[in-house]
A and B are shown apart, each in its own frame.
Chain A
Amino acid sequence: MADLLAMTALEAHEAMVAGELSAAEYAEAWAAAAAGDDLNAYLWRADGDDGGAIAVERPSIAPIAVKDIFCTEGVPTTAGSRILEGYRPPYTSTAVRRLLEAGAPILGKTNMDEFAMGSSNENSAYEPVLNPWDRGRVPGGSSGGSAAVVAGALAPWAIGTDTGGSIRQPAALCGIVGLKPTYGAISRYGMIAFASSLDQCGPLTRDVRDAALLLGILQGGDPCDSTSVGIEGGVRLPDREDLSGLRFGVPNDIADQVFDAGVREVFEATLATIERLGGEIAEVSLPHAEHGISAYYVIAPAEASSNLARYDGVRYGMRADGAGDVTEMYEETRAQGFGAEVKRRIMLGTYALSSGYYEAYYGQAQKVRTKIAADFSTAFGAVDFVITPTSPSVAFGLGEKTDDPLAMYMNDFFTVPMSLAGIPAISIPAGLAQPEGGGPDLPVGFQIAAPAFAEQKLLDAAHALEQAIGFDVQSPRSGAPYPPMSGIKRTGSGGDGDG
Chain B
Amino acid sequence: MGETLQQLIFGFSIALEPINLLYAFLGCLVGTIIGVLPGIGPAGGMALLIPLIYGKSAASAVILLAGIYYGAMYGGSTTSILLNLPGEAASVVTTLDGYQMAKQGRAGPALCIAAIGSFIAGTLSVILLMFIGPPVAHFALQFGPAERFALMVFGLSTVTSLAGSSLVKGAVATLLGLMLATMGVDLPTGINRYTFGIDKLMEGFDIIVAAIGLFAVSEIFMSLEEIAAGTLEQIKVTRIWLSMKDFLDSLGAILRGTGLGFVVGAIPGAAHVTASFFSYTLEKKFSKNPENFGKGEIRGVAGPESANNAAASGALLPLLTLGLPATTVTAVLYGALLMVGVKPSPFLFQKNPDVVWGLVASMYVGNIMLLILNLPLVGVFVRILSIPARWLLPIVLAISFVGVYSVHNSALDLVLASILGFVGYLMRKFDFPLAPVILGLVLGDLMEQSVRQALMISGGNPAILFQSAIAKTLFGLAVFVVVGPMMLKRLRSKEL
A and B from one complex: no
Please list the residues of chain B having a beta carbon within 8 angstroms of any beta carbon in chain A.
none
